[in-house]
Amino acid sequence: MGGVIAAVDDLFFWAKILETAERLNVPLALVRSAGELVEKARAFRPALVIVDLNAEGCRPLEALRQVKADPELKDTPVLGFYSHVQHELKASAAEAGCDRILARSAFTAQLPDILRPYAT
């Protein structure tokens, strides 16, 4: 695939990521659970994984650990975004292997620049 997989359960971010990816012609798969994320990542070998660290349904920290523990996926870059007041969550995500962590506001502002390198 070479595109992007995003684990998101918030409809606002789901729509924002989907709209931006479509506008930039970036291959995108959206998932709603840790298991689905790992399964799709193994099948499609994404160039980037995006994880909403506040997506309780996705169990984001578990998903991060699974991706980084998988020998075939461990080098896949993972970008997480979170509510800027949750400093413990940011630290936990870094410990779980998240390569880049942005506050929600920064993620939203930078989303086109984040996705643009993966356009086809």
Query: What's the pTM?
Result: 0.94
CATH code at position 9: 3.40.50.2300
Residue 97 has pLDDT above 70, yes or no: yes
What is the average pLDDT score of the chain? 93
Residue 1 has pLDDT above 70, yes or no: no
Task: Grade residue 85 by pLDDT with cuts at 50, 70 and 90.
Answer: confident
Residue 3 has pLDDT above 90, yes or no: yes
| 13-37 confidence digits (pLDDT tens) | 999 999 999 999 999 999 988 889 9
Would you say 6 and 17 are in contact if contact means Cβ atoms under 8 Å apart?
Answer: yes
Sheet of strand 100-103: strand arrangement: 28-31, 4-7, 48-52, 78-82, 100-103
Number of domains in the chain: 1
The residue segments making up the domain with residue 42 are: 4-118
Closest of 50, 44, 26 to residue 119, by C-alpha: 26
